Amino acid sequence: MNIAFETLAGSADRVNEDWVAASPDAVIVLDGVTAPRVASPGCTHPVSWFTQQIGGRLFVLLGEAIDMQNVLATAIDQVAELHRESCNLASPGVPAAAVAMVRRRGDGVLDYLVLADTVIVIDTGHEIHVVSDSRVDQAAPEALAATRDEAIGTPEHQAAVARMSVEQLKKRNVPGGYWVAAVEREAAFHAFVGQVPVGDVRRVAIFTDGASRAVDTFQQMDWAACLDYLQEHGPRGLIRHVRSIEETDPAGTRWPRFKVSDDATVAVVEM
């Protein structure tokens, strides 16, 4: 597998909460979930600490002969043990992350997993297979809609996003809600997983939502065109393209969103 990736913070004054790593046979992309504004966050660790910790453990575990959901469940358990004594892991404010992973196995199969706001796009040469998880958008639809009525950067927009985060948090990692990697190992078994014969795969791309917005928010291209763009310009070129689009709509008037620019990560694999 030939692999290239790029990650960039949403702004120069913020820590990048995304995380990406690759080996010759696997790629992991994480999108840290911005900590919700709750009265008692419960955990003293930043989101970037969580993505680094769980990412490193996923990287090791993917080399073992266990299925993708159990890889994620084990990593969640291991990171929870790191701060179980120092933090209140029952608090809704614990760090969390969306997860996307692919792994080439020795028996000629490509495994994939998606949990929360990440996207994997698989091109077989005959069709484009898109794996995404938008369940969080159904957690508090009215509160989500309210964020789209206000201009980015205004107090009204900030308040609407805060209210939405609180409402969505009530549905996090519970049956009928949405699932992210945090403390509950059960979340791993709600991830979308699948397998594709390696011989059928031409190329694969993995996105956090700060990068996938070129397609799913701005609708400036479809997924096939996005893969072609990546092939020509690379991950860095795609992120620059996303940033240039964002700069034309800083208030979110044309494309409502939570931030002008979000952390953005892209990994592309050519088989």
Nearest to 151 by CA among 163, 143, 159, 141: 159
Query: Range with the lowest mean pLDDT among 38-42, 83-87, 146-150?
Result: 38-42
| pLDDT-based confidence at residue 44 (cuts at 50, 70, 90) | confident
Q: Residue 40 has what pLDDT?
A: 60
Q: pTM higher than 0.85, yes or no? A: yes
Partners of residue 193 on adjacent β-strands:
113
Nearest to 8 by CA among 211, 269, 265, 248: 265
Q: Residue 104 has what pLDDT?
A: 96
Q: CA 164, CA 184: separation in Å to the nearest integer?
A: 22
Average of per-residue pLDDT across 69-90? 95
The more confident residue out of 130 and 14 is 130
- How much is the mean pLDDT over the chain? 94
Express each pLDDT in 160-211 by its tens digit. Answer: 999 999 899 999 999 999 999 999 999 999 999 999 999 999 999 999 999 9
Q: CA 188, CA 212: separation in Å to the nearest integer?
A: 22
Residue labelled with tokens 């763009």: 229
Average of per-residue pLDDT across 235-256? 97
Q: Residue 38 has what pLDDT?
A: 59
What is the DSSP-derived secondary structure letter of residue 183? Answer: S
Q: CA 262, CA 270: separation in Å to the nearest integer?
A: 26
